[in-house]
């Protein structure tokens, strides 16, 4: 062992071909194995064809690698129409000889097997197509269709093995798609022949919401994210959201910005949140989460910074009306366009729909601050782990862009509001918890800072008062070892000579 330790083994990194697909190159550490075939498998409608086509179109557009698309399922016209609808028009690239589409039609009814054969016809067609545009990328979609037209599976399997080896010798980076099988990853065991890289796509419905998943099952000679990653398909193609590969390399800003509530700024080292940080405000119903979010957004607008507000519970008009009752008028900022509210019911579209909409809006509007109110409503869309993945991705994205984001979260258990948010709180830099305390027949709201990374912050539980002049955080009054809140405090104040009539005054020691 010590001997080998002296001579470090030089691991030759596998050369890779970038797919240009957002997130996929991240998971695979740079793309698909260059000059080798990759198997992409999944059930019907899982996105195999779209992923393959985007791989070719990106290759031709961005990396100067022409590509051949050999379809066994759809005619060239159908394929073209499908991709035009996705905003991936292959025709200009075909015209410039950067892309070649061909359809291998297999009609079982007109085929009769009469003796020994091989797939040289396919080889010749493919080679001709590759040579005519000097292709570097090839897609075979879905080659297993051959099994429906030809019955000699032994010959077919041997020929497919030969085909994949031939693709390797041609040095083209290929995607071979396969339909998910009952027992194996593909119906006819293509995974036995393509061992360089295997990607599994999945399209499942959980609680009536369709979600797509991508997983790199195997990647020979390379490390890769092994987790399932959500992905979505919209007008701009495929985007994969890696869960594990949170790049924690974003710029960190020492800049601070106001929470919009002076008392809260003071609790956070007198300066407020860090710019580019993520803030979680959790609490049960009616504890004032939206109020804090509103003040935060308004403070940004006052600084002439744009704010984007994702409302998953109320309409824009409702938020404006409700916040006006606590002395906050968002109307002028809405009119000026500094504040934009994007309201949607989380159930109106699937998780991927929300992901894409939020990403797109953030990218398009480039806001300085973002509010998601509440993030917990997305839990009704996906299971918690999906929301976690989505959040991770979104937070990462916003941090890179130096956007400050505030998320509210509705918790059920008022006694332990932390419990329900543990999953997402690790992504958060600052975590505020709002509580409803019921003591002596009255309800009192409190606020405390559970954590706030990288800054001194108050450890006190403050009384959180919503008045028509805004949010006030009252200092805690201790009396005989108890915390006095609400009317108890008032009563105590009347008795005490040193009345803490205003906030932030220390309670007199007994």
Partner 1 sequence: MKAKSKRTTKPRTTEASPEFFDLRLYIAGQTARSLAALANLQRICDEHLEGRYRLEVIDLLERPQLARGDQIFALPTLVRKLPEPIRKLVGDLSDTERALVGLDLRPRASSRS
110 counts as binding partner 1 under rule CB under 8 A: yes
Q: What Cα–Cα distance (Å) separates residue 179 from each residue in 167, 443, 495?
A: 20, 59, 79
Single residue of 77, 78, 89, 113 touching partner 1 by CB under 8 A: 113
337 counts as binding partner 1 under rule CB under 8 A: no
159/463 with CB nearer partner 1: 159
128 counts as binding partner 1 under rule CB under 8 A: yes
From CA 467, how far away is CA 189, in angstroms rounded?
Answer: 68
From CA 303, how far away is CA 79, in angstroms rounded?
Answer: 50
From CA 466, how far away is CA 415, in angstroms rounded?
Answer: 21
118 counts as binding partner 1 under rule CB under 8 A: yes
Render the burial of 182-198: b for 16+ CB within 10 Å, e for the rest.
eeebbbbebbebbebbb
Q: Cβ 115 to partner 1, closest distance in Å?
A: 4
Q: Cβ 152 to partner 1, closest distance in Å?
A: 9
User: Contact at 8 Å (CB) between 94 and 161?
Assistant: no
471 counts as binding partner 1 under rule CB under 8 A: no
125 counts as binding partner 1 under rule CB under 8 A: yes
DSSP characters over 122-181:
HHHHHHHHHHHHT-SEEEEETGGGHHHH---HHHHHHHHHHHHHHHHHHT-EEEEEEEPP
97 counts as binding partner 1 under rule CB under 8 A: no
State both tokens at 454. 């990288």
Single residue of 104, 135, 199, 447 touching partner 1 by CB under 8 A: 104
105 counts as binding partner 1 under rule CB under 8 A: yes
Least Cα distance to 282 among 379, 172, 348, 366 occurs for 379
Q: Cβ 39 to partner 1, closest distance in Å?
A: 20
State both tokens at 410. 């509705």
Single residue of 117, 317, 380, 416 touching partner 1 by CB under 8 A: 117
Least Cα distance to 14 among 317, 219, 247 occurs for 219
Q: Cβ 85 to partner 1, closest distance in Å?
A: 26
119/167 with CB nearer partner 1: 119
Least Cα distance to 199 among 42, 332, 3 occurs for 42
111 counts as binding partner 1 under rule CB under 8 A: yes
Q: Cβ 155 to partner 1, closest distance in Å?
A: 9
Contact segment (CB under 8 A) with partner 1 among 57-65, 119-127, 168-176, 497-505 equals: 119-127
146 counts as binding partner 1 under rule CB under 8 A: yes
Contact segment (CB under 8 A) with partner 1 among 124-132, 381-389, 399-407, 429-437 equals: 124-132
From CA 455, how far away is CA 272, in angstroms rounded?
Answer: 9
146/216 with CB nearer partner 1: 146
Q: Cβ 129 to partner 1, closest distance in Å?
A: 9
Burial (CB count within 10 angstroms: exposed 0-12, middle 13-18, buried 19+), residue 293: buried
Binding-site string for partner 1 from residue 480 to residue 499, where x marks contact by CB under 8 A and - marks none: --------------------
441 Rama class: left (phi>0) / alpha (psi -120 to 50) / beta? left
74 counts as binding partner 1 under rule CB under 8 A: no
By CB under 8 A, what part of segment 150-189 binds partner 1? Answer: 150
Single residue of 86, 106, 252, 343 touching partner 1 by CB under 8 A: 106
78 counts as binding partner 1 under rule CB under 8 A: no
Single residue of 4, 12, 114, 249 touching partner 1 by CB under 8 A: 114
Half-sphere exposure of 197 toward its Cβ, with a 13 Å CA cutoff? 31
Q: Please list the alpha-helical segments (H only) found in 407-485.
A: 422-425
Interface residues with partner 1 (CB under 8 A) are: 102, 104-107, 110-122, 124-125, 127-128, 146, 150
């Amino acid at each position: 062992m010590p001997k080998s330790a002296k001579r470090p083994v030089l691991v030759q990194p596998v050369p890779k071909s970038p797919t240009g697909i957002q997130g996929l190159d991240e998971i695979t550490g740079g793309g698909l194995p260059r000059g080798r075939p990759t198997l992409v498998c999944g059930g019907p409608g899982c996105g195999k064809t779209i992923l393959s086509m985007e791989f070719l179109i990106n290759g031709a557009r961005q990396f100067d690698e022409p590509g051949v698309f050999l379809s066994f399922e759809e005619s060239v016209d159908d394929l073209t129409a499908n991709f035009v609808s996705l905003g991936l028009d292959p025709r200009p690239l075909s015209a410039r000889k950067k892309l070649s589409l061909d359809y291998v039609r297999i009609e079982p009814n007109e085929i009769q097997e009469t003796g020994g054969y091989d797939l040289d016809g396919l080889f010749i067609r493919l080679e001709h197509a590759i040579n005519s545009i000097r292709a570097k990328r090839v897609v075979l979609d879905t080659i297993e269709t051959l099994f429906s037209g030809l019955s000699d599976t032994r010959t077919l399997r041997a020929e497919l093995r030969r085909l994949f080896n031939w693709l390797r010798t041609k040095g083209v980076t290929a995607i071979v798609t396969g339909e998910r099988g009952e027992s194996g990853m593909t119906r006819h065991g293509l995974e036995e022949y393509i061992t360089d890289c295997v990607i599994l796509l999945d399209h499942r419905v959980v609680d009536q919401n369709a979600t797509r998943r991508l997983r790199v099952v195997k990647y020979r000679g390379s490390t890769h994210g092994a987790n399932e990653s959500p992905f979505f398909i919209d007008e701009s193609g495929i985007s994969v959201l890696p869960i594990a590969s949170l790049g924690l390399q974003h710029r960190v800003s020492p800049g601070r910005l106001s929470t919009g509530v002076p008392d809260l700024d003071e609790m956070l080292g007198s300066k407020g949140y860090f710019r580019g940080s993520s803030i979680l405000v959790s609490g049960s119903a009616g504890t004032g989460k939206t109020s804090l979010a509103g003040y935060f957004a308004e403070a940004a607008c006052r600084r002439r910074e744009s704010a984007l507000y994702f409302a998953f519970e109320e309409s824009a008009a409702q938020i404006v009306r409700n916040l006006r009752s606590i002395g906050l008028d968002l109307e002028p900022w809405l009119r000026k366009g500094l504040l934009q509210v994007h309201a949607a019911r989380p159930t109106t579209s699937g998780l991927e729909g929300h992901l894409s909409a939020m990403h797109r809006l953030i990218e398009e509007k480039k806001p300085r601050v973002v509010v998601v109110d509440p993030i917990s409503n997305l839990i009704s869309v996906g299971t918690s782990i999906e929301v976690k993945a989505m959040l991770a991705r979104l937070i990462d994205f916003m941090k890179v862009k130096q956007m400050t984001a505030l998320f509210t979260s509705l918790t059920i258990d008022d006694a332990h509001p932390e419990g329900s948010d543990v999953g997402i709180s690790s992504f958060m830099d600052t975590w505020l918890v709002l509580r409803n305390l019921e003591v002596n027949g009255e309800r009192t709201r409190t606020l405390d800072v559970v954590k706030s990374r990288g800054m001194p912050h108050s450890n006190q539980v403050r009384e959180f008062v919503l008045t028509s002049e805004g949010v006030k955080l009252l200092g805690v009054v201790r009396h005989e070892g108890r915390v006095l809140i609400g009317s108890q405090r008032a009563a105590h104040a009347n008795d005490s000579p040193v009345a803490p009539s205003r906030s932030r005054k220390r309670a007199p020691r007994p």
